[in-house]
Structures are given as structure tokens and as C-alpha cells.
Amino acid sequence: MSFGPGALTPVIKMLVITNVVMFVLSKMAPVITLQLGLVPAAVFGSLAIWQPVTYLFLHGDVMHILFNMLALWMFGTEFERMWGSRFFAKYYFVTGIGAGVVTLGVSLWSDSIYYAVTIGASGAIYGILLAYGMYFPNRPIYLYFIFPIPAKYFVMLIGGIAFLSSMGSSGGPVAHWAHLGGFVVGYVYLKSLRTRPFDEIKYRWLKWKMQRARSKFDVHRGGRSDDDWKSDWKKHIH
């Protein structure tokens, strides 16, 4: 028996190290949080366009970073092995940045979020949890390490909690809108990969191209006649 999915995969190891280093630096110099955390007022007012990316590497306290990195390892490791490091990294940042964009959009209707500092990798983590529920819907997850619940219901539960929490959210260091944004962006992204409208057209074009290329070549049966090998050498074409 073993606990967890095994050793850290390359991208997850890099993310964990970066988050830990940034957490330590932000505690030593709190101004880092103000400059790199997601502040909609700064993004819209001062064009701090780096913040929807950099906010992913900052956390409020030890429990915040501990649970985020634990969830990243437990649920993300299998995806990196299955998808490959490149696609996993892409999905991580698509959901994380997408969650930041959702927060920016909501902030236009909420002054408390508009001037608040949002930090944490939770948007990307929620995107990974959403993917886990879609790919492994019946795999049991132990709620509070005691109660087994299928992954699909677990994802629905935390998604519902994120939605209800976002309705009453008034801003703060950890925004529930970012959690909900990670869910929504992750779902849309994964569904779009499965139902790309031009995939069939691309397949048909490649099939036609292969058939056209194949028609330019003749395929002859190989082999050599033991009785008259000098007259049959030209047949050795494949």
C-alpha cells in the first residue's frame, strides 16, 4: 500500500519549488504580494498585465500553500504522466490565468474585489480537480480522509461550495471567484478539445492527401526467384 500518486513529476516539482520560494520571499518582503498579486485596479488602471500570471505563485499563509501544493501533487501527478508535461503545464496555466480573468471580469461589478489582492494557485488547482472528476468519475475520494465519495460527486460538491461562496464573497486574499473560474475554464477547455469543429475536416484532408501521395507509387511483391535470380532482381521494389 502507498499514500498518494508517487514521486513528483517534473512540472509539478518545478511548480512546488517556485511556489515555496515565492512564499518565503513574500513573507520577507510583503511588497511582493502587492506588486505580483492580482489587483484588478492595478491591472485596469496601471496595466499590470503580469498579475493574472504571477498571482498563481503567491499564498497567504502556511496552510494555504500546504493544501494547494498537496492537492497539486495528489491530483495533478497522474495527469502529467497521462497527458505529458507540456500539455499539463499548458492546462495548469490556462485554468489559472483563466480564473484570474474571471476575477477581473467580476471585479467590474464589485468594488470590494476591484481593490482587493487575490493570490493563490487555487484557480489552477480547481481546474485540475474538475479534470479529475471528468476523467475518473467513479474513482473514490476520501472526504476528510474518512468518507469515500465518487470523484464526480466530490467535484460537484466543491464546485457548489465555490459557487455559493462566490455569491457572498466580498473580496479578500483568497477569492472564491477564482475557484469558480478555474472550474468553468477547465470544463470549457477540456470539452473544446473533445469536440473541436474542424477535427473532422482536418482528418478528411489528411486522408485525401495520403491517398494522393500513395497513388504516385507502385508497390511490387518482394522476393527473389531461386531459379532465375538475375531476371527477377528488378522485382525487389517495396
Q: What is the pLDDT of residue 23?
A: 96
Q: What is the pLDDT of residue 238?
A: 45
Report the predicted TM-score, pTM, of the whole model to 2 decimal places.
0.76
Confidence of residue 64 (pLDDT cuts 50, 70, 90): confident
Mean pLDDT to the nearest integer, 97-104: 94
Residue 64: all three cell numbers together: 494555504
> How is 114-173 classified by DSSP, letter by letter?
HTSPB--SHHHHHHHHHHHHHHSTTSEEEETTTEEEEHHHHHHHHHHHHHHHHHT----S
Mean pLDDT to the nearest integer, 63-70: 90
Confidence of residue 178 (pLDDT cuts 50, 70, 90): confident
Please write the tens of the pLDDT for every residue from 186-210.
Answer: 999 998 876 554 454 555 566 667 7
Which carries the bigger pLDDT value, residue 230 or residue 59? 59
DSSP-derived secondary structure letter, 233: G
Confidence of residue 171 (pLDDT cuts 50, 70, 90): very low
Which CATH number is 10-194's, of 1.20.1540.10, 3.20.20.10, 3.40.50.720, 1.10.1200.10? 1.20.1540.10
Whether residue 95 is predicted with pLDDT greater than 90 in this model: the reply is yes
Q: Lowest-pLDDT range, 90-94, 208-212, 218-222? A: 218-222
Q: Lowest-pLDDT range, 51-65, 87-101, 204-218? A: 204-218
Please write the tens of the pLDDT for every residue from 148-158.
Answer: 889 888 888 87
Tell me how crowded residue 1 is: count the other CB atoms within 10 A of its CB: 2
The answer for 49, left when phi > 0, alpha when psi is -120 to 50, beta otherwise, is: alpha
Mean pLDDT to the nearest integer, 34-55: 95
Each domain of the chain, given as residue ranges in start order, spans 10-194
The C-alpha atoms of residue 157 and residue 152 are separated, in whole angstroms, by 9
